[in-house]
Amino acid sequence: MGSTNRALFERACRVTPGGVNSPVRAFQAVGGSPYFVARAEGPFVWDVEGRRYVDYVQSYGASILGHAHPAVVEAVSAAARRGTTYGAPTEAEVVLAEEIARRVPGCEQVRLVGTGTEAAMSAVRVARGYTGRDRVVKFAGCYHGHADALLASGGSGVATLGLPGSAGVPAGAVADTVVSPFNRVPELGSDVACVLVEPVAANMGLVPPAEGFLAGLREACDSVGALLVFDEVITGFRVGRGGASEWSGVCPDLWCFGKVIGGGLPLAAFGGRREVMEVLAPTGPVYQAGTLSGNPLATAAGLAVLGELGPEAYSILSATAAELASGLLAAAGRAGVPLQVPRVGPLLGLFFADEPVVDYEGARAAAAGDRYARFFRAMLERGVAFAPGAYEAVFPSLAHGPEELAHTMAAAEEALSSLVD
């Protein structure tokens, strides 16, 4: 105790590769060394040196209510007193699955897993098992976790580190993965098992789907008998009550969820039509399992979060995000800094670019240079934490109120002016 950020990072680097348990946290893209969090509450995190930040990372979207929300803390504490894991089914798993199915029309069955990576990997396995085909189409700049077959041209940390994919992935593992440009409907062959997409791309900054893109994917899939998979690990229960499928009016065959439904604990899910999901063991031949799947602490947290997310919550979140977007744009205008702040409901992105970004190429061009890194550092110095990578989205929570927004705007005014050379 009493350690500084730097001292902890030095110790961490001795015992953990790069000092972190997920690469983007190492600050390589923005310079300097990471702050180590001591605690968090509502819109704030405090580092081990006692410095407070208005936090727009919110665990990359896992905390939509803000940190340590009393309903979540109470639900998790109560669940812990009843035992932390059983390896047998619980009522809370049933209630959570029912709640997901109620919110997301068409998603009749879900299976709970531990991470978004597992959800995407398992959804692809289901699609392959259901169709009897191998090929998977994904989009450049979309991130679906770190399963071998899905890392190619991934956004998020893969993009931050400038990697085309990952070493250690055998050619065979990606032989059936086809990468297509986002926002263009690809031609599909009859060997395609599924098209996997982030319906609102949120791992290359934020790139909304172009008019007709998602409907075009639906049509293309239907024309060859492929399944459409929406990876809603970020958008699910965030862009609205029913996520991006409700928002866009396009219904996929399979969904991946994570982040919000775990309430800050390790929980994710994949789901779809009953007839598709029933290919899973024990009803069908597609194997998938997990010791901690449906964990009682995580399901309690997820249910507590969903309990707070009625329609009014989404109006508040969207209004907060809209105010943040317009404030940042106005400050950038005054400073003469070209900035794009795309927004879909409560989700925001930041691109230092003259024109709206529509695909990964545009996102990479906007991320080139040091503007994001300089903006990030200037904001951090002023007590506002954005993600330490230009490809991440901005996550205002329900706990971000007028004071935090005012603090953010004042900091942004100075930070953006400092970018003018």
Residues identified as active-site: 143, 231, 259
Q: Does 117 engage in binding with ligand PLP (CB under 6 A)? A: yes
For ligand PLP, which is the closer residue by CB, 143 or 237?
Answer: 143
Query: Considering only residues 371-390, where is the footprint of ligand PLP by CB under 6 A?
Result: none
Q: Given the rule CB under 6 A, which of 89-97, 229-237, 304-312, 396-404 is the region that contacts ligand PLP?
A: 229-237
Q: Does 252 engage in binding with ligand PLP (CB under 6 A)? A: no
Which residues of 349-393 form beta strands (DSSP E)? Answer: 384-385
**How near is the Cβ of 378 to ligand PLP at its closest, in Å?**
25
Q: What is the DSSP string of 215-268?
A: HHHHHHHHHHTPEEEEE-TTTTTTSSTTHHHHHHT---SEEEE-GGGGTTSS-E
Query: Considering only residues 56-75, where is the footprint of ligand PLP by CB under 6 A?
Result: 60
Residue selected from 135, 144, 218, 371 as contacting ligand PLP according to rule CB under 6 A: 144
If residue 82 lies in a helix (H) or strand (E), which one and from where to where? none
Q: Given the rule CB under 6 A, which of 102-110, 114-122, 272-280, 301-309 is the region that contacts ligand PLP?
A: 114-122
Residues that contact ligand PLP, how many (by CB under 6 A): 16
For ligand PLP, which is the closer residue by CB, 42 or 145?
Answer: 145
Token pair belonging to 407 = 């603090």
**How near is the Cβ of 155 to ligand PLP at its closest, in Å?**
8
Q: Given the rule CB under 6 A, which of 86-94, 112-120, 290-298, 323-331 is the region that contacts ligand PLP?
A: 112-120
Residues making up the chain, counted from first to last: 421
Residue selected from 45, 120, 220, 297 as contacting ligand PLP according to rule CB under 6 A: 120
What letter represents residue 79's amino acid?
A
Q: Does 203 engage in binding with ligand PLP (CB under 6 A)? A: yes
- 417 CB-side CA count, 13 A: 7
Buried b (16+ CB within 10 A) or exposed e, 209-219: beeebbebbbe
What letter represents residue 374's amino acid?
R
Q: Does 392 engage in binding with ligand PLP (CB under 6 A)? A: no
Q: Does 293 engage in binding with ligand PLP (CB under 6 A)? A: no
**How near is the Cβ of 302 to ligand PLP at its closest, in Å?**
13
User: How many DSSP H helices and E strands does the chain contain?
Assistant: 15, 13
The residue behind tokens 């410095």 is 51
**How near is the Cβ of 298 to ligand PLP at its closest, in Å?**
12
Q: Does 160 engage in binding with ligand PLP (CB under 6 A)? A: no
**How near is the Cβ of 286 to ligand PLP at its closest, in Å?**
20
Report how far residue 342's alpha carbon sits from residue 194's, in angstroms, rounded to the nearest whole number.
28
**How near is the Cβ of 144 to ligand PLP at its closest, in Å?**
5
Q: What is the DSSP string of 81-110?
A: HT-S--SS--HHHHHHHHHHHHHSTT--EE
Residue selected from 36, 53, 56, 143 as contacting ligand PLP according to rule CB under 6 A: 143
Token pair belonging to 238 = 């965030």
Q: Does 198 engage in binding with ligand PLP (CB under 6 A)? A: yes
Q: Does 141 engage in binding with ligand PLP (CB under 6 A)? A: no
Q: Does 258 engage in binding with ligand PLP (CB under 6 A)? A: yes
Residues 6+ apart with CB under 8 A from 299: 79, 90, 92, 93, 95, 96, 112, 267
Q: Does 413 engage in binding with ligand PLP (CB under 6 A)? A: no
Token pair belonging to 95 = 């209630």
Token pair belonging to 195 = 């098209």
**How near is the Cβ of 331 to ligand PLP at its closest, in Å?**
28
Q: Does 156 engage in binding with ligand PLP (CB under 6 A)? A: yes
**How near is the Cβ of 81 to ligand PLP at its closest, in Å?**
27
Q: Does 90 engage in binding with ligand PLP (CB under 6 A)? A: no
Q: Would strands 343-344 and 347-348 be described as parallel, antiparallel, or unpaired?
A: antiparallel
Q: Does 139 engage in binding with ligand PLP (CB under 6 A)? A: no
| 419 three-class SS | coil
- CB–CB of 29/390 below 8 Å? yes
Report how far residue 305's alpha carbon sits from residue 283's, in angstroms, rounded to the nearest whole number.
30
Which residues of 298-357 form beta strands (DSSP E)? Answer: 343-344, 347-348
Provide the binding-site residues for ligand PLP, judged by CB under 6 A: 60, 115-117, 120, 143-145, 156, 198, 203, 231, 233-234, 258, 268
